Structure formats: C-alpha cells, structure tokens
Structure 1
C-alpha cells in the first residue's frame, strides 16, 4: 500500500430505525367492546376493562428491574475507580473479561457510563438464567459529552441481586435503535489493553506495545484538530477527537476488522455524534504524510452528520472535502496523488462525479485517482465560492439529504448541470 495512494475506507452509515410493536389481546368480555370499551352506561372506561398482563412478561420485567439496579452499582464503581465494586455484580468466571474492560475504560478517561436493559430478558437454557441485551452509553474525557451507545448481549443468574454470568462483545448489527445500518463490532476497549494521552482537542490511544508513539501522535493530532475544526458543516466541532493507533493484530479486529486493502485509516461512527479515528499499522511509516492523514480523518469527524446516510453518489463531496483539509492549502501541483489522478482522468473516467466511489477490491492506483478527482472538484468549488458556501452545500447535500441539483442554485447561484460541467473542465485542465 504505497503512501499517498487510496488509504481510506467507507464508513458505516447510521440513520433512524423505527420499531413498531403490535400488542394483541383476547378474551375481552363482549360488554366491554360496545361503544369503544365503555361500560354499559356509556360512561368512561371501567377499570375492570384493563387486560391482565401476561405473567411471563411481568416476571421478565421484574428481572430487568433487578438487573438495572446491578448495572447502576457497576456504573458507579467504574466512575469511582472501584475495581472490586465493578467486579462484584459478576460471577468469578466473568471477572477476567471485566478486569480488562475496566482497565481499558479507565485508561480512556471514561466520564459517563450507563447501562440500560434493551427490551426484556428471555429465559436461557438453564433454569433461573436469563439473556438480556444491554445498551451501554458512555463518554470519554468530558463529563458532559453526548453519550455514545453500544448494545451488548449479557447473561444473568436471577436472584434478589442478579449475578452477571457473561458479557458479550458488540457485534455488527442492523438492529440497534437509532441506526439503520447497525453498530460497529468489537470496540477497542472490549478487546485490548489500552493506554492514552489527552490534549486540548484530542485523545489518542493505543496498546502498551506502542506507548512510545503517544507523545508524538498527540502533538500531531492537536495540530490536525486546529485544521479540522474549521470544517464543521453545522458550526459545532466535536468535543474531543478520539484517535486510536492500531497495530497489525488490532487493525484486523477493531470495529469488525473489515478494511479494504488500500486503507491506511478511517473514521467510524460510534453514535452520539462521535466518529472515532483509526490509524493503520503502517501509518507511522508515512513520515509527513501522517499529518495529512490525520487532517483528512479528523475533517470527516468534524463534517459528517450524526446520523449517517447511504448515498454513495456524494462520496466525491465528503472525500473531496477531507482531501481539501488534508492538503491544508498547498498548491494543486503538490497534491501527492496527482500522477494517479492524471492517469484516471486521461483513461476511462466517465466524467461523472457521482460514480467515483471505489470498492474494497479496487486497485490502489484507481483509488488514488478517485480521491484526486474528488479533491480537485472540491478545490474548484472552494477556490471559486469560498469554504463557507461549500460547507453550506455539504450540509444541504450530506446532512439534509438534498440532491445537488436541488440546492446548487440556492447556494452557488448556478445550475448544478452547469457547475458540474465546470468542475469537470477544471479537473481535466489541472492534470494536463
């Protein structure tokens, strides 16, 4: 994977998920059906009209309430630095896993941690045991941040104070409230021992084997954050940029590990308005290019919407904006992927911006050329209209899901067909 060639991957995309629950009841006395469940005298509904709740549902709800009390105790222990209290709610067989998570979360400066039953528990294979998905919400570094959610499967032994038997790991799943395309699997703090360093705008973390890289990474991340902060489409910059450096093993495991061969880093939505940045194992070998990579990925975290979208036709806009941040004002002639861009433009590119998005198995050279075309398109818009109007265009298209031809005249005072033609002409002239 040559430095400077296509090095990003697409990120998971979230949107709202709406669940509809139909509750069916039967055996209602016929008299209660007259007049819309009113009593025989035509007055208000009688208290006797309420349907008795299923005993199994009642029992499950009571179990969930007892589990919630245990989760509250565990949360207080984690935030209070009480490892023994964090482990106390669990059976000894679960302690090893919990010790690892406790240490990793404390290393990441966890400031909020809340566990809530996600639905009702269901009976497990053994009598007295229950399975329950739990939604955990958390913040790092800042106590008042918007929490990020993750849903994890758990197993409990019932009692006056239920005991945690097993805590799963987050899985890539489409069935998470508030996310159409699910949640990322296997978060770093679920899998790895971690160390971190915190600056004014960023938190950087990695495994102990790469602890020596944290001071330099933090300095470079803080510099990149100053650039990325100016790329917010809504005017609100992230409270802290979260950056994880992955070794070879972690690169294949964190967040599901499904990275394209040409990727060197990515930004992934973890909910609550937070995108976490992952730098690949080879990123430190890129020298000065690591600074460009950081600016690119942090610009994603600053400019992308809280809830993702699924339209790859705007890939050119989101990646072009991030490339613009990465270039940080350098002349076009010094753009690192210009040679690959020239070959693609002179080759079989169809002249359309909305078909640039590469696949996981796209060649490195074509990926680099696609990023270059996206960069030149956004560079043209910025040079002609200024960053403020371009960011307004990003908000309209990426955040508000309006197609370019609906908003181009409003923002740029020009029809999109004419502006697209001008962008393509500029791109072709820039690579002559």
Structure 2
C-alpha cells in the first residue's frame, strides 16, 4: 500500500497496502512535496570506515547556500534585521553539525547543543550513521521566532535534504523544528522536534534506535531487539527488489529501497502511525521520488514476507513522487502491486481467491472504481478488493502483455489522464469495453 498504500493482513493478503485518502498524497504514496531550496553544496571526500565504505563523496552545505536568511536588506526594520542575523548564526551551527555528521565526528555533532538535548541527538546521530547517510543539507525556512511560554527560546523551522548509501540521489526531504537559546552571542540547540508534517510524519531515524543491514539494492532497518532477523529480511528484500525494479514505469528504479521492520510500539509511531487495523505494510512518499516501506512485524507471518515485500517495493518503484489522489484508480495501483507480489504464480494459486469469491457473491456492484476499502473494513472485504484488483490487472497483462499495461498505468497514475484516453492509447480499445471484460474475468475466476 502506498502513502497510504497499505496492504492488508490475513491469509489471502498478508501484505496489501491501505489507502490513505486523508492526505493530499493519497494512501499510496504519502508525498510531502515541499519547494526545494536552491542549495549550493560542497563535496567532501570522506572515508566511511565505520560503515565499511571507502572513497565515498559526502555532500554538506556551505556558507549562505543552505537557504539561510540573507545577509540583510535595506528595508529591514531593526527587529527583522536582528532576527535575520540570529538566523544566520543558527544556520551556521547547523552547517557545522552537518559536516560533523557526514564526517563521523559525534563530539562535534553534539557540541552545538545544550546537555539536555544531547541524548536524543546521540540516538539520531547513531541511527543516521547506521543508515549510511551521505547527504545532509539543512536549509532554514524563514526567520527564527520567539517560542511562546519559553522566554529566551527561539524556534527555527529547517528543511533537510538527505540521502542514504548513495551520493548522487535526488534527496528526500523532511521539515524539522529546532529550538534554540542564546549563550552570549552563540545560539545553542535546546531541542530538535519530531517532524509531524503529513503524510510522512516522524521518520524512524528521528525517534528510534536502529539496527541496519545494507545490500546492493536495499537497506533494511529495525530495532536492536530484532537485530537477529536482519540477515533473513535483507536476503528477502534483495530478491524482492529484482522483481520491483521491473515495474519502474517512469524512469530508472529507485537507487535504493529503504525498508523498516516495525515492532508493536514502532508501528504506532513511525511515520505518524494510525494505519488501518488490517494493514501489514505500506509505502510512504518522502520526497525526491523515494518511498520508504514499513512492514508490520506483529501481523505478517514468515511465509508472507516475500510477497509483501514484492508488493510494497513495487509501489516504491512504480508510483510517482506526488503519489496518487484518485480513489477510482486504487484497483490499478494495488492490482499492479499484487500482480508483482504474485510473481508469476498461476491464478488458481493466488491466496486471495476465497475473499474474492465472498466479495463477488456478496453484493459487489461490479465497478472497479469503487473497490477501495474503508479504513474500518472487515478483513474479507479488504482481501477481496485487493484480489479483484489483481485479477483485473492479470487479465490485462494476459491479453496485452506487461509493457502495454505499464504504459496504461503510467498514463493513468503518473500523467493523470482519463481511463478512456489511456486505454485508447495503450490498448487501442474503449475503456468501458475493457472494464466489462475485466469484471467478467473476475466473475469467471470467482465462479460467481
């Protein structure tokens, strides 16, 4: 499931992805599209000895390039000019911290902060280093403002562009609130707040200790208590990535797939929590064309991990950065991910067929555009909806081949063209006719 693309749990769909209609970037790809600042960056050659990587270029920020308030304007009033100067000193501290993070200098990373803030920053530093952070670009959003009820404290909102493992990526972005206190002329960090902006919410590396395993195509992270599961999860993720790479419909596959394996507590906090109760996994957009994947360790079985990973990583490969907002195309987004999750198995071995039969025989109106389940839908209803989406996509693939179906997907989901226009271009057929053919196929397979 994406940004809402949650995949249901249960025997038939141990990994579907829910739909998150509440956010601008619908369930599939929770995307937080912020205006990227114009960064001027300096490349620093550093050895990542702690990560086992050498000769990697790490990118930091330099001078006024990181979106800091400009040096001063002739029309500034005295208060604005003072705030602008204060903001410059704060962003200079953030620059020092970025250089320290990328260089593996924990002492320097913590040096800009007050003692009370250091435990949380230490955890964040360790998690980012474990994830092999290669880009960290803080950019101030506006000027610092006094914090209500906290005399002497200032708040500065900061956008951070970041990459893991690879240098030449399109950075993901996160908005972080920072609080400061002046010590003489020097601003000192008092606290770094969790990001709360929808649809992504707080990233795992902001709030949790992490154990991490890195492969050629994937990065898998979980809590230290579940560290022993990492080798197996990494092997499964690497295998799933080979499948998901085939469904990058608009450009190359992601440079890395980032997968987080969440325990009970983490499931409720990572990326804001609050997913439908039937969700076994989801993909959430984090900017730069990236979608992080989260698996619910409390729901999925060992046997269900492989198809769930194929499903969710396919969302990460196939969805646009901004996600999708039209619930009427839910069947296509989830159907493609289920098709990838099935990995070529015969239709009669698809685990969700029993749920499909119950849905088809239980009063389904026969419309693909009305399949998206509600957050409180029963498990059978959810599993049946995912199964119908799978069968519809499977029918189109069997009839026209994968490439033409991917062309259709791109036109509908990425280019936001009508189903009629997309079907005419990709298949040379009227969508109304194809829709009825897909529904007839679903009913034939379901026997109802």
Q: Does 1:374 align with 2:382?
A: no
Answer 1 or 2: which has greater strand percent.
2
> Within 5 Å, which residues of 2 pair with 1:130-145?
130-145=154-169
Shift of 1:183: 4.0
| Structure 1 unaligned residues grouped into runs of 5+ | 20-49, 174-181
Q: Does 1:95 align with 2:118?
A: yes
Cα deviation, 1:58-95, whole Å, max 9, x if unaligned, reads 22221111111111100000111111000011111111
Match of 1:218 in 2: 234
CA contact (8 A) 1:203 1:218 kept: yes
CA contact (8 A) 1:111 1:138 kept: yes
Match of 1:168 in 2: 193
Match of 2:66 in 1: none
Distance in 1 between residues matched to 2:199 and 2:433, nearest whole Å: 39
Match of 1:3 in 2: 11
Distance in 2 between residues matched to 1:290 and 1:127, nearest whole Å: 51
Question: Which residue, out of 332, 338, 343, partners 1:323?
Answer: 338
Match of 1:156 in 2: 180
**How many pairs were matched up?**
392
Query: CA 1:149–1:204 in 2, change beyond 3 Å: closer, same or farther?
Result: same
Match of 1:38 in 2: none
CA contact (8 A) 2:195 2:203 kept: yes
Q: Which one has a bigger Cα radius of gyration? A: 1
Query: CA 1:215–1:17 in 2, change beyond 3 Å: closer, same or farther?
Result: closer
Query: CA 1:283–1:236 in 2, change beyond 3 Å: closer, same or farther?
Result: farther
Query: CA 1:15–1:130 in 2, change beyond 3 Å: closer, same or farther?
Result: closer
| Greater CA drift, 52-61 or 136-145 | 52-61
| Structure 2 unaligned residues grouped into runs of 5+ | 1-8, 20-26, 37-72
Distance in 2 between residues matched to 1:302 and 1:185, nearest whole Å: 21
Q: Does 1:61 align with 2:88?
A: no
CA contact (8 A) 2:31 2:286 kept: no
Match of 1:73 in 2: 96
CA contact (8 A) 1:5 1:364 kept: no
CA contact (8 A) 2:135 2:164 kept: yes
Query: CA 1:246–1:408 in 2, change beyond 3 Å: closer, same or farther?
Result: same
What is the TM-score with the length of structure 2 in the denominator? 0.84
Secondary structure in 1 matching 2:12: coil
Distance in 2 between residues matched to 1:111 and 1:290, nearest whole Å: 29
Query: CA 1:345–1:267 in 2, change beyond 3 Å: closer, same or farther?
Result: same
Question: Which residue, out of 12, 15, 31, partners 1:14?
Answer: 31
Distance in 2 between residues matched to 1:129 and 1:345, nearest whole Å: 60
Secondary structure in 2 matching 1:85: helix
| Greater CA drift, 207-216 or 111-120 | 111-120
CA contact (8 A) 1:5 1:365 kept: no
| Greater CA drift, 144-153 or 118-127 | 118-127
**Whose relative contact order is higher, 1 or 2, with alpha carbons under 8 Å and at least 6 apart?**
2
Shift of 1:18: 7.9
Shift of 1:283: 5.1
CA contact (8 A) 2:32 2:200 kept: no
Distance in 1 between residues matched to 2:104 and 2:409, nearest whole Å: 42
Q: Does 1:401 align with 2:409?
A: no
Distance in 2 between residues matched to 1:367 and 1:307, nearest whole Å: 25
Match of 1:106 in 2: 129
Secondary structure in 1 matching 2:444: helix
Match of 2:170 in 1: 146
Distance in 1 between residues matched to 2:32 and 2:124, nearest whole Å: 28
CA contact (8 A) 2:281 2:294 kept: yes
What is the TM-score with the length of structure 1 in the denominator? 0.87
Distance in 2 between residues matched to 1:18 and 1:203, nearest whole Å: 27
Distance in 2 between residues matched to 1:84 and 1:359, nearest whole Å: 49
Match of 2:353 in 1: 338
CA contact (8 A) 1:150 1:183 kept: no
CA contact (8 A) 2:30 2:200 kept: no
Query: CA 1:111–1:246 in 2, change beyond 3 Å: closer, same or farther?
Result: same
Cα deviation, 1:328-377, whole Å, max 9, x if unaligned, reads 01110000000110111122111110110011100000100000000000
CA contact (8 A) 1:5 1:262 kept: no
Match of 1:119 in 2: 142
| Greater CA drift, 224-233 or 136-145 | 136-145
CA contact (8 A) 1:4 1:289 kept: no
Distance in 2 between residues matched to 1:372 and 1:421, nearest whole Å: 17
Distance in 1 between residues matched to 2:341 and 2:74, nearest whole Å: 62
CA contact (8 A) 1:242 1:277 kept: yes
Q: Does 1:52 align with 2:75?
A: yes
Match of 2:446 in 1: 431
